[in-house]
Structure 1
Amino acid sequence: MEIQTLIPFIAIIAFATYVQTVTGFALGMIVMGTVTTFDLVPIAFTSVVISAVTFVNGLVAVKGNVDALDIKRVMFTCAGMFPAILLGLLLLDYMSTEFNHVLQLLLGGSIIGAGLMIMLKPDPLAHPSSPITFGASGGAAGVMAGLFSMAGPPLVYLFYRQPFELKTIRLCLVTIFLLCAVMRTGMVGAQGGLTIEMGIFSVLCIPMVTIFTWIGKKYPPPLSNNNMRRFAFFLLILIGISLILKNL
């Protein structure tokens, strides 16, 4: 891969890693949207790299904080998500060859929808949602993960409604994304979709992911949770609109 592609890609990865560490979401949306907008690499390639860096980000973020996890809700969510990842991958394989512009429009619309969901502030639930609700949300997230390595929107909306501590919500999300990355990468590998270049590129990104995950844990921005949500909202809306305009 050429250096003029590698440097901006790694810079995008670093920024998105920091945002995900302090919010619990957005890595896949920021990387996929920005990289696709500037035509740095194809969507399928970007998806594999996102899965790899999400795995590293999750390991570093969860380390030392396992006691704050709600393992039961993570399991309910993954039970719905894992089968749906395969459906998303099959859709990606078909659309990336036959309907690439439609795929990019769908990505732009998904990112805008994610930004709007981030700004929605429904009242917290009095009691945790049912296992079926977590499983259904996981199913929707799995399709998006298969298509774009972007499982965040349905899960962020659901988990931020739960009567859990903020730390628990963020760690649950990061853990689910980590497990999703493992499952998706395994499925892509079984389909023969992994290449040496993808592996090399992912390895080159790992040091930056590790550094910026640590920075996010130690030095979060001096912003309230609401202001962090507003920042993520405007960033995602901008990325989504740019993608849609590019493909109209």
Structure 2
Amino acid sequence: MTGEKLAVLVAVMGAASYFQTITGFGLGMIVMGASSGFGLAPVATVATLLSLVTLANSAAALPGKLHHIDWRAVGAATVGVLPSVVVGVLLLEYLNRSASGLLQLLLGAVVMYGGLSAALRPAPLPQRSGDRSFFVSGVCGGLLSGMFGVSGPPLIFQFYRQPLTVTQIRCALILIFTVTSATRVVCSAYEGQLGAETWTLAACGAPVVVLMTVAARHFPPPLSAIATRRLAFGVLMGIGVYLMSAAVLHLVHAR
């Protein structure tokens, strides 16, 4: 990797860390999207790198905030996420390219519709959903992660629709993504994928990630709770468009 690409990658990780600390999500999606779009590094390397820097982000974002977390909701979602990631990976292996593309197109449309409808009505639900609902959102998120590498949308939609404060929501999401990242790090280490290049990139990016996370904690943007929810749902719409666009390209190339 050239010095210019490294500088861009580190800058993107810093900006994405700031965004994630404010909203509870976005680090993986922003960095992966920028890396793919600008050809900064191989996808596999970036995926492993993201697992490491996500741990750095959470280490700086969560101290002193754990009392805000709805532990039952986080526990139910996490129990749903972890096994369904494996199911998603296995399911993708059994689907041919055309079927996979059609499924991704459908999922993208559902995600975009969900984000749009929620953005138009950003007020939270009148009462907290049951633990089963959080478990289902975790299962859906895990399947998306295993099949398409995008685990956030069901979890983001689920938590941002709850009658919780923005602080409670973002801390819960950061913790869930931390658990999944830690699991990926263990798996990557077991498979021998944590090479010297990945550790070097993590060493370069982690200080910036921590710095921007601390900056976001002390100097957040002046957004109201409704504005923050609309921002989250707007990003969901963008993810839906991305999934649909990628699916269309896969279908075109498959012919």
TM-score under structure 1 length normalisation: 0.81
Give how far 1:153 is off: 0.9
Determine helix, strand or coil for the equivalent of 1:172: helix
State whether structure 2 residue 200 is matched by structure 1 residue 212: no
Structure 1 distance, partners of 2:88, 2:249, is 23
- Structure-2 residue corresponding to 1:9: 9
Q: How does 1:97-116 map to 2 (within 5 A)?
A: none
2:215 and 2:46 map into 1 onto residues whose CA distance is 24
Count how many residue pairs are aligned between Structure 1 and Structure 2.
241
CA deviations 1:56-93 (Å, max 9, x no partner) are 1112111011111111111111111111223445578x
Q: Is the 8 A contact 2:106 2:244 kept in 1?
A: no
The question of whether the paired residues in 1 share the 8 Å contact of 2:108 and 2:244 is answered with no
- Displacement of 1:236: 7.0
Give the superposed CA RMSD: 3.3
**Matched residue, 1:51:** 51
Stretch deviating more after TM superposition (40-49 or 64-73): 40-49
- Aligned counterpart, 2:145: 145
Deviation at 1:125, TM superposition (A): 2.7
Deviating more after overlay: 129-138 vs 146-155? 146-155
1:159-198 to 2 correspondence within 5 Å?
159-198=159-198
Go from structure 1 to structure 2 and tell me whether the alpha carbon gap of 1:243 and 1:193 turns closer, same or farther (over 3 Å shift). Answer: farther
1:190: how far off? Answer: 2.5
Unpaired stretches in structure 2, ≥5 consecutive residues: none
Structure 2 counterpart of 1:36: 36
- Whole-angstrom distance in 2 between the partners of 1:176 and 1:153: 13
User: Would the aligned equivalents of 2:107 and 2:243 in 1 still touch at CA under 8 Å?
Assistant: no
Q: Equivalent residue of 1:217, what SS?
A: helix
Alpha carbons of structure 1 residues 125 and 231: separation in structure 2 relative to 1, 3 Å = closer
Corresponding residue for residue 155 of structure 1: 155
User: CA–CA distance in 1 between the matches of 2:224 and 2:201?
Assistant: 34
Q: Which moved more, 1:122-131 or 1:208-217?
A: 122-131
Distance 1:167 1:149 in 2: 26
TM-score when normalising by structure 2 = 0.79
Aligned pair in 2 of structure 1 residues 111, 75: CA closer, same or farther (>3 Å)?
same
Partner of 2:74: 74
Unaligned runs of 5+ in 1: none
SS in 1 for 2:51: helix
Pair 1:182–1:242, CA change in 2 (3 A): same
Give the direction of change, closer, same or farther, for the CA distance of 1:134–1:231 in structure 2 (3 Å limit).
Answer: closer
| Alignment deviations for residues 152-192 of structure 1 (CA, whole Å, 9 cap, x no partner) | 21111001112222211111111111111101221233333
1:24-76: per-residue Cα shift (whole Å, max 9, x none)? 11111111112111222222221111111111111211101111111111111
Distance 1:137 1:44 in 2: 26
Distance 1:7 1:111, change over 3 A: farther
Match of 1:240 in 2: 242
Task: Supply the distance in 2 between the matched residues of 1:72 and 1:81 (Cα, whole angstroms).
Answer: 14
Q: Percent same amino acid at aligned positions?
A: 31
